[in-house]
């Protein structure tokens, strides 16, 4: 007989698959990224909002790879391009860091905090939840903000989206709508196809694909 843990994991996976179908995400959002994001979403005790943001860095910057889900109403609220750190890669983000001055993106789970007006306009503070992976986000001033270089129109000129110093930067016209939808204690998950992250993640410890 399967043990309780195996049964619980099977039930969890089935529920996640049903949610994926209900939101009609096939061909839009990667299954592995979605399942990891939803698994972590349910584990994070400090969550205050029924909203989940997934940034899928397995996709090129030329494609929409930021997704905001309403987990209560089971629907996709936003999909958008999003920039990665300039030292994380060109078209694709392939290298990640938690170090100050690295100008790289950081993977893992975050909780959104308050907004402020900064040098990049309306911005959202992000609190990295995973020690050694993204817990220096505040120290590094890794926030969500809008940027002219994060607009799809940039792709036609250089073959890729512009890059940030590590922040997930979004098109300026979507900055306020997206930030207002996710601010104040919602979960954000930045995903890439890297076994190293899963091996060290505190949130997804014990995760089975």
pLDDT digit string, tens, across residues 83-106:
999 999 999 999 999 999 999 999
For tokens 């060109």, name the residue: 90
pLDDT digit string, tens, across residues 51-70:
999 999 999 999 999 999 99
Q: Give, in order, the Cα–Cα distances in Å from 109 to each of 132, 153, 171, 186.
A: 12, 29, 22, 10
The yes-or-no verdict on residue 4 having pLDDT over 90 is: no
Contact 172, 121 (CB under 8 A): yes
pLDDT, position 11: 84
On the CB side of 195, CA atoms within 13 Å amount to 1
Copy the structure tokens of residue 89.
């890669």
Dmax (CA) of the chain: 59
The yes-or-no verdict on residue 165 having pLDDT over 70 is: yes
pLDDT, position 64: 98
Sort strands 143-146 and 169-170 into parallel, antiparallel or unpaired. parallel
The pLDDT-based confidence of 207 (bands split at 50, 70, 90) is confident
pLDDT digit string, tens, across residues 116-157:
999 999 999 999 999 999 999 999 999 999 999 999 999 988
The model's pTM is 0.95
Crossing angle of helices 31-43 and 4-22, in 10° steps, is 120
The yes-or-no verdict on residue 3 having pLDDT over 70 is: no
Give the 3-state DSSP-derived string for the chain, with helices as H, strands as E and coil as C: CCCHHHHHHHHHHHHHHHHHHHCCCCCCCCHHHHHHHHHHHHHCCCCCCCEEEEEECCCCCCCCCEEEEECCCCEEEEEECCCCECCCCCCCCCCCCCCCCCCCCCCEEEEEEEEEEECCEEEEEEEECCCCCCCCCCCCCCEEEECHHHCHHHHHHHCCCCCECCCCEECHHHHHHHHHHHCCCCEEEEECCCHHHHHHCCCCCCCCC
- How does the average pLDDT of the chain come out, rounded? 95
């Amino acid at each position: 007989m399967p043990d309780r843990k195996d049964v619980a994991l099977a039930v969890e996976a089935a529920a996640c698959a049903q949610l994926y179908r209900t939101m009609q995400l096939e061909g839009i959002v990667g299954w592995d990224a979605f399942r990891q994001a939803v698994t972590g979403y349910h584990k994070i005790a400090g969550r205050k909002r029924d909203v989940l943001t997934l940034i899928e860095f397995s996709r090129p910057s030329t494609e929409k790879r930021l997704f905001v889900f309403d987990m209560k109403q089971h629907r996709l609220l936003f999909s958008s391009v999003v920039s990665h750190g300039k030292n994380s890669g060109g078209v694709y983000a392939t290298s990640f860091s938690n170090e100050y001055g690295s100008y790289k993106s950081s993977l893992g789970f975050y909780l959104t905090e308050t907004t402020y007006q900064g040098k990049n306009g309306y911005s959202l503070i992000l609190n990295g939840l995973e020690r050694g992976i993204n817990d220096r986000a505040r120290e590094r001033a890794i926030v969500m903000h809008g940027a002219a270089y994060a607009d799809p129109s940039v792709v036609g000129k250089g073959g890729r989206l512009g890059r940030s110093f590590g922040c997930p930067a979004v098109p300026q016209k979507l900055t306020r709508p997206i930030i207002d939808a996710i601010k104040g204690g919602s979960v954000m998950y930045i995903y890439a196809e890297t076994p190293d992250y899963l091996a060290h993640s505190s949130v997804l410890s014990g995760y089975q694909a």
